[in-house]
Amino acid sequence: MDTTDITPTLLRSWPLPMPQPDGDKEVRGHLLIVAGSAEMPGAIVLAATAALRAGAGKLTLATGASVAAQVAIAMPEARVIGLDETAQGGFRHEAQHQLAPLAGKVDAVLVGPGMCDTAASCELMRHLLPLFANSRLILDACAMQVVRKPAHFRFDQPVLLTPHAGELAQLMGLSKDAVLADPHACATDAARRWNAIVALKGALTVIAMPDGTTWTHAGGNIGLAISGSGDTLAGIITGLAARGAPLEQACAWGIALHALAGEQLALRFGILGYLAREIPAEIPALLRNLAA
């Protein structure tokens, strides 16, 4: 199967959108992150920090009302909206009404990191899809479960899904071993089936488009296999998308930046032991170097 390797040379030939020097925070991009829970409030903080480090200008966060105040303190750069929660710690689908005023006003939306209550998350996701149809939409973690019902689910317009092998196996009704045995075929099949861009994360990451176009990336190190790492990756991608990058470009750049950040951190701390919260701080310098 023909595919394109994501390398520094490729990225330099595919430059990210850059705001004009006299632009304001709106020009740099407004993003919304719907994420977190009482059990995992840190997920939205990790994703939000990474999104701002990737260059986005304006940030709105929506998380559980029970932890909204703590998230606001942890992310003083953000507007924080507290959403009504279910007994299982998810967000009620009525939260769509709290988010509706942002429709048409945000450039990119990330949904999923740290969310609980799969059933509630899917119900909310079904309401958010038409609401943010004109924004670049990234689904991670729990939010990706929306593709499981109905059985022949398809997005009206491509969104980006960011599963690891275990998640894609569950979404497709396969074994994890089957996905690992042929990641290209599985990612491509999923992209066509759901009309989505699918980034199958791993030591070898495969990005598949609905038309069969694929990119692959090999890099990083085992240190990136740590709690919160996926949240930072989703945040990096969303920050780049908010700046105006198409989803496939934001994803390719985000995957590469995340891996390179792991390599830089390994030089300082060793391959094991650095933290997901340390990844975002590496991104601005890496962006500068790749733009050189």
* Complete edge-to-edge strand list for the sheet that includes strand 108-111: 4-5, 214-218, 204-208, 197-200, 160-161, 136-139, 108-111, 30-34, 58-64, 79-83
Residue 160 counted as an annotated binding residue: no
Q: What is the C-alpha to C-alpha distance for residues 61 and 110, in angstroms, rounded to an integer?
A: 10
Residue 217 counted as an annotated binding residue: no
Helices 247-269, 283-291: inter-axial angle, 10-degree rounding: 120
Residue 258 counted as an annotated binding residue: no
Helices 42-53, 283-291: inter-axial angle, 10-degree rounding: 30
Residue 203 counted as an annotated binding residue: yes
270: which 2 tokens?
Answer: 């060793």
Residue 231 counted as an annotated binding residue: yes
Name, in order, each residue with C-beta under 8 angstroms of 43's C-beta and a sequence gap of 6 or more.
Answer: 35, 36, 37, 113, 114, 115, 141, 228, 231
Residue 202 counted as an annotated binding residue: yes
Q: Which residues fall in the annotated binding site for AMP?
A: 201-205, 230
Q: Which residues fall in the annotated binding site?
A: 43, 114, 164, 201-205, 230-231
Q: Which residues fall in the annotated binding site for (6S)-NADPHX?
A: 43, 114, 164, 231
